[in-house]
Structure 1
Amino acid sequence: MSGEVINTLMIITVGEFSVGILGNAFIVLVNFMDCMKNKKIASIDLILTSLAISRICLMCIITLDGFMLVLDPDVYATGKQMRIIDFFWTLTNHLSIWFATCLSIFYFFKIANFFNPLFLWMKWRIERAIPGILLVCVAFAVFISLPAAEDLNDDFRLCVKAKWKTNLTLRCRINKAQYASSKVYLNLFTLFPFSVSLISFLLLILSLWRHIRRMQLNVTGCRDPSTDAHMGAMKAVISFLLLFIAYNLSFLIATSSYFMPETELAVLIGELIALIYPSSHSFILILGNKKLRQASLRVLYKVTHALKRRNF
């Protein structure tokens, strides 16, 4: 792989990383300042803050992994360092996915309108249940990460450099079945939160359709606060679903890289695509949240005003 290609990919990686850190750090900072001001934190702010922190950590791990692959590739032939990176990558990956799923569930219960007794009971309880749900997500992510890191280190990481080490190449060929099973194992656990988010999205569509029908029967129009809330929540959920699909495709590219001739190039491209998910979705959440959107507009106004004064 030529040096120009590596430099280009690393520059793009740094750019994506910087943009993602900026968006997610902004979410954490605004919610932290609001929490200090009001001496409490709303459930939606707690979810967004937890999600932003997990994505900051995820982007740091992905970027560190890419730089280590380019600058210090021999680390891939050792166990301890890569086992640590694999553990935290798997942990932050699952935390990010589960926290985003919690956000989809929260939007569904707070905005959707159904008259089922169980739904109404859960809608009333969801605010107080959010801290406990987030803690369960953390415990589950840690539980998944411990054995997954061992499998990743033994199969994928050592195989990245296998084309220069005959003994590693032979080991990778022998362990292909075990490698494939570990990847299926990881992806199966991410399919469940994806399915929950998809169901929440479909139920939001159903709730919006029923709401619009009621509005039309009452001849009051269909653009009202409830409709706008439905549309905003659906945009946040559908953006997560689409970006999540792209993220899993990139993960598939990276983890199947030793089947490809240009192993490092496949890994770097996979990680480059993977960074799109945690970096871009933060700005979608900022635009979809009234408090974050107003705070971003104030910051943008101050920056623009400062630049204009500096020019004069």
Structure 2
Amino acid sequence: MFYTEENIFVIIIIGEFIIGMLGNGYIGLVNWIDWIKKKKISSIDFILTNLAISRICLIGVMVLNGIIMVLYSDVYATNKLIVIIYTFWTFFNYLSIWFSTCLNVFYFLKIASFSHPLFLWLKWRIDRVVHWILLGCFAISLPVSLMTGLELSHDYRFYKIAQHKRNITEMFHVSRIQYFDPVTLSHLLTVVPFAVSLISFLLLVRSLWRHTKQMKLHATGCRDPSRQAHVRAIKIVTSFLVFLFLYYVFSLVVTFSYLMTEHKLVVMFSEIVLILYPLGHSLILIIINNKLRQAFVRMLMCRKIACMI
């Protein structure tokens, strides 16, 4: 029998699951339909489609993990299911983060304005190699997730050993200390894509500052598409950095939640916040991306007309 807070948790997390699936599914569907119509797909749409697919899988794994962790914690802690779920979570987590980083870098290269030879070379090459870059993201995520899964599987014996320990302190050392290595390492490795996105953000801000300074010297009173593109890209990258920061802060909270008094409540709250990353950032992409936003408006208008008829 579940308590009230557990019922609330299940309702919220299922609501997040539905919204996340609809939002990311919408991104993938719009780009796929456009791909079919035009017989080709742009680099930005290709990245967005792959990002949406990875996040659909990530949200599914996260919701499954959250429900089992909260409602069936005893089974979860003594079953190899934790190894399987964490392996899939690591894979789709890395894939999503790297795809998001590729999106941030792509915005930077296409929108920013610098005269450095390396920047110009990357700007010219990015469309030609974007498919290989995404394949490289897959090649990075797969071995990391497999190594994490193997490490957790190897350390699975601490659960069995802990069952035979009577001393609480000894149980803690046996059942927790080895778990830190793969979990903490997987968190630390994401510093690389976070740093790349942060650098892209700072360079975008610098490019916008230089562009604004030049426009002030040649003020015309007309709309400035370049400035608007800069602002949109900065909003997207900023939202990603904020959501990713919260995501890993609360991932660490879940990892060390056993040290807290209200262990279960902390885990439930953290799991709810964690899902906001693949959900919230995708919704922001829909709002800021012109094609996705316009397609959503047209869909609402068609539905309104259909209802009137």
TM-score calculated relative to the size of structure 2: 0.90
Counterpart check, 1:184 vs 2:184: yes
Q: Which runs of 5+ in 1 are unaligned?
A: none
Return the alpha-carbon distance in structure 2 between the equivalents of residues 303 and 163 of structure 1. Answer: 58
Return the alpha-carbon distance in structure 1 between the equivalents of residues 229 and 27 of structure 2. Answer: 20
The aligned counterpart of 1:199 is: 199
Report how far residue 181 of structure 1 moved: 3.5
Task: Summarize deviations over 1:50-85 as a string: whole Å, max 9, x none.
Answer: 111111101000111122234444432444322211
The aligned counterpart of 2:87 is: 87
Q: Which runs of 5+ in 2 are unaligned?
A: none
Identity of aligned residues (%): 50
Q: 1:230 to 1:308 in 2, by over 3 A?
A: same
Residue identity matched to 1:41: I
Query: What CA RMSD, in Å, does the superposition of the two structures yield over aligned residues?
Result: 2.6
Task: Summarize deviations over 1:238-292 as a string: whole Å, max 9, x none.
Answer: 0000111111112111111222334333322221111111111111101121111
**Which secondary structure does the structure 2 equivalent of 1:113 belong to?**
coil
Return the alpha-carbon distance in structure 2 between the equivalents of residues 262 and 155 of structure 1. Answer: 27
Return the alpha-carbon distance in structure 1 between the equivalents of residues 305 and 169 of structure 2. Answer: 59
Aligned length: 307
Return the alpha-carbon distance in structure 2 between the equivalents of residues 157 and 223 of structure 1. Answer: 64
Return the alpha-carbon distance in structure 1 between the equivalents of residues 60 and 307 of structure 2. Answer: 30
The aligned counterpart of 1:29 is: 29
The aligned counterpart of 2:300 is: 300
Counterpart check, 1:236 vs 2:236: yes
Report how far residue 27 of structure 1 moved: 0.3
The aligned counterpart of 2:106 is: 106
Q: Check the 8 A contact 1:54/1:96 in 2, yes or no.
A: yes
Report how far residue 14 of structure 1 moved: 0.7
The aligned counterpart of 2:282 is: 282
Report how far residue 44 of structure 1 moved: 0.3
Counterpart check, 1:58 vs 2:58: yes
Return the alpha-carbon distance in structure 2 between the equivalents of residues 207 and 279 of structure 1. Answer: 29
Return the alpha-carbon distance in structure 1 between the equivalents of residues 164 and 246 of structure 2. Answer: 31
Report how far residue 303 of structure 1 moved: 2.9
Return the alpha-carbon distance in structure 1 between the equivalents of residues 100 and 169 of structure 2. Answer: 38
Report how far residue 170 of structure 1 moved: 3.5
Shifted more, 71-80 versus 26-35: the winner is 71-80
Task: Summarize deviations over 1:98-144 as a string: whole Å, max 9, x none.
Answer: 11000000000000000111111110000111111101111101111
- What does 1:68-83 correspond to in 2, within 5 Å? 68-83=68-83
Report how far residue 153 of structure 1 moved: 5.8
The aligned counterpart of 2:39 is: 39
TM-score calculated relative to the size of structure 1: 0.90
Shifted more, 35-44 versus 179-188: the winner is 179-188
Residue identity matched to 2:218: N
